[in-house]
Amino acid sequence: MSMLYNLGTGLIRRVYDSRISDPSVLDPATRFPEAQRFVEAWPVLRAEALRLSEDIGNIPRFHELMAEQADISANDQRDWRMFVLKAYGVPIAPNMARCPALAELVQSVPDVLSASLSFLAPHKHIPRHRGPFRGVLRFYLGLSVPVDIAGQPATVLKIDDTEYRLANGESLLWDDTFAHEVWNHSESPRIALLLDVRRRGMPIDLALLSRLIVGAVGLTVRIRKPV
């Protein structure tokens, strides 16, 4: 299954890479203007995420949701847990109900195709990898970010060989098909909101292809029924 997944995602990347030349990090004001609504709501979203973290053992590890990601999720003895509220257009109703403020925001923005709360254990390293699908952009919002002894964010997101340290309430819009990796250099978990949003401004044929891919993956989500 992993081999087929890698072959499929590799082919899809080549199709998009040949037509899209955007940089790795993009301006949310033009590509995802609704980002500001999530940024402004970050204290409320943080409170919801912290309540979930009290039951962290019942939040699945990423590779338990998607076995194809075991090489980056189960690479060490430290957890990367994902609480999925929406996946490729499919809302996960029980999880939406547990985060009403976030759910309301997500459902009010049609371009948000997927939404998850990411819980990164202390000293977890997510190895260098690439996302599968350039038809979406990744929005990252820090909700509970540990700090180092100097008071700086202790988690690092490295995208295309550039490091970003995002504090609570800080965000980034980027293309996760660029090589990236993450470290949590602290003794505390890091919690972030991850959104996959529809890429705007693509050629019409790529936009149509993207809708087909989103629909097909959404059907798979319905069959798998992630929790």
pLDDT band at 55 (very low <50, low <70, confident <90, very high): very high
With 80 as the cut, is the pLDDT of residue 59 above it? yes
Instruction: Indicate the domain borders of the chain.
Output: 2-224
Reported as a pLDDT band with limits 50, 70 and 90, residue 2 is very low
Write down the pTM of the prediction.
Answer: 0.92
Residue 33 has pLDDT above 50, yes or no: yes
Mean pLDDT computed over 41-64: 97
Look at residue 5 in the predicted model and tell me its pLDDT.
Answer: 45
Domain at 2-224, CATH class: mainly beta
Whether the Cβ atoms of residue 119 and residue 192 lie closer than 8 Å to each other: no
Residue 9 has pLDDT above 90, yes or no: no
Give the residue-averaged pLDDT of 43-64. Answer: 97
